């Protein structure tokens, strides 16, 4: 009798599936990077440029400019009201300076010249300005009324065309607010002329005389466009 042979079952092994290709990592945009805590370089550059521009505007604007003292030939601008005013008040239409510096406008320059002391003829009236003593005017001159004050004044033309100046446009303002007009004394040698035309760069100096001046606060010349003012600060001697 024939023996049956039992067939052995064959177990088939499936091969492993091939590995899947991994997708490349997505490139992060600078914006996404900044959202995750990293600030891009271009954002930092924009902020820096904005700060520099703001600082420039502040420094170049009028509000950020620091005041500084006037130089020898540089006038100071002030404000002035009409009528009798206290000393040292000027208007936006005035150009003011402190003796012995000149007051320089668009058409004319006004300077009150510092004088010497000649006791044989007149008595000098001086100011102490800081550590200096400057003679501002003469009075009590020989053969003259003691109350007459002689200021040596120089006007210089600055306009392209000749400028006509008039003695009556001078004015002396006292600390009490009085406004004095000059006297036309014919017998005063080297007196400032009643009327003269000054071309560009042409100067004329002469005596401008006032009666009973009191304590001078400023000497002024009224031009067509503005008032030139030379103040007298300091201590009178």
In which band, very low, low, confident or very high, does the pLDDT at 77 lie, cut at 50, 70 and 90?
very low
Q: Where are the domains of the chain?
A: 76-236
State the pLDDT at residue 225.
81
Task: Evaluate if residue 190 carries a pLDDT over 80.
Answer: yes
CATH classification code of 76-236:
2.60.40.1240
pLDDT tens, residue by residue, 207-231: 999 997 789 999 999 998 899 999 9
Query: Which pTM does this prediction carry?
Result: 0.61
pLDDT tens, residue by residue, 133-188: 999 999 888 888 878 999 999 999 999 999 999 999 999 999 999 999 999 988 88
State the pLDDT at residue 130.
85
In which band, very low, low, confident or very high, does the pLDDT at 69 lie, cut at 50, 70 and 90?
very low
Phi then psi dihedrals of residue 100, to 5 deg:
-100, 15
Is residue 208 within 8 A of residue 182, CB to CB? The reply is: yes
Task: Evaluate if residue 20 carries a pLDDT over 60.
Answer: no
């Amino acid at each position: 009798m024939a023996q049956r042979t039992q067939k052995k079952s064959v177990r088939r092994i499936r091969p492993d599936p091939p590995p899947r290709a991994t997708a490349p990592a997505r490139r992060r945009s600078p914006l996404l990077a900044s959202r995750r805590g990293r600030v891009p370089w271009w954002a930092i550059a924009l902020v820096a440029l904005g700060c520099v521009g703001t600082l420039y505007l502040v420094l170049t604007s009028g509000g950020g400019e620091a005041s500084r003292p006037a130089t020898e030939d540089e006038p100071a601008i002030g404000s002035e009201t009409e009528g009798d005013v206290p000393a040292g008040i000027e208007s936006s239409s005035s150009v003011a300076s402190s003796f012995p510096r000149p007051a320089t406008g668009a058409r004319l320059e006004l300077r009150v010249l510092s004088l010497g002391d000649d006791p044989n003829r007149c008595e000098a009236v001086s100011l102490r300005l800081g550590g200096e003593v400057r003679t501002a005017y003469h009075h009590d001159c020989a053969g003259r009324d003691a109350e007459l004050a002689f200021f040596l004044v120089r006007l210089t033309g600055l306009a392209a065309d000749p400028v006509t100046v008039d003695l009556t446009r001078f004015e002396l303002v006292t600390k009490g607010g009085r406004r004095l007009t000059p006297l036309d004394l014919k017998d005063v040698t080297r007196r400032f002329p009643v009327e003269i035309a000054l071309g560009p760069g042409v100067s004329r100096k002469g005596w401008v005389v006032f009666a009973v001046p009191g304590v001078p606060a400023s000497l002024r010349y009224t031009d067509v466009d503005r008032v030139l003012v030379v103040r007298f600060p300091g201590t009178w001697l």
